[in-house]
């Protein structure tokens, strides 16, 4: 996904609001999760949000979203934002985050999702990292 950053995305200094970028990331994560689960999805959690570089009006935002882990009804999506200066062509990583999306039925109840099939070593590494995050979250009190 790509979107040109315009003045309505920014503060008076010309920097894009972090919340605008998070909304774009959430949309990308939702598309990836819905395509995998073939159901409606809701955002269950966002973690490991990192703001790495400011995004300015006039930058082209490139959003990359990749499914990394599936649980029973949850789907972890790694989302990265790169910002491109259209004048110079320079690209920089602006943000990263992990979104936990939950597949739901029409009543809003969680439903089972298909397992993620990993093929490459990179996919296996990302899956294992996602599994570790999932287990750490489940181990926290109140979960």
State pLDDT tens for residues 24-60: 999 999 999 999 999 999 999 999 999 999 999 999 9
For residues 105-114, give the mean pLDDT: 96
Residues 6 or more apart whose CB falls under 8 angstroms from that of 110 comprise 72, 73, 102, 103, 104
Q: What is the pTM of this model?
A: 0.92
The CATH code for residues 2-139 is: 3.10.129.10
- The overall average pLDDT reported for the chain is 95
């Amino acid at each position: 996904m790509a979107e040109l950053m315009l003045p309505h995305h920014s503060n008076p200094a010309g920097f894009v609001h972090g919340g605008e970028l998070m909304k774009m990331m959430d949309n990308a994560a939702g598309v990836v999760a819905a395509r995998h689960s073939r159901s409606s999805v809701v955002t269950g959690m966002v973690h490991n949000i990192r703001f790495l570089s400011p995004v300015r009006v006039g930058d082209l935002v490139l959003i990359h979203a990749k499914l990394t882990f599936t649980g029973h009804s949850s789907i972890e999506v790694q989302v990265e934002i790169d910002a491109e200066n259209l004048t110079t062509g320079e690209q920089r990583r602006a943000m990263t985050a992990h979104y936990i999306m939950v597949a739901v039925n029409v009543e809003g109840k969680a439903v089972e999702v298909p397992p993620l099939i990993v093929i490459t070593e990179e996919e296996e590494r990302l899956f294992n990292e996602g599994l570790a995050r999932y287990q750490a979250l489940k181990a926290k009190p109140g979960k």
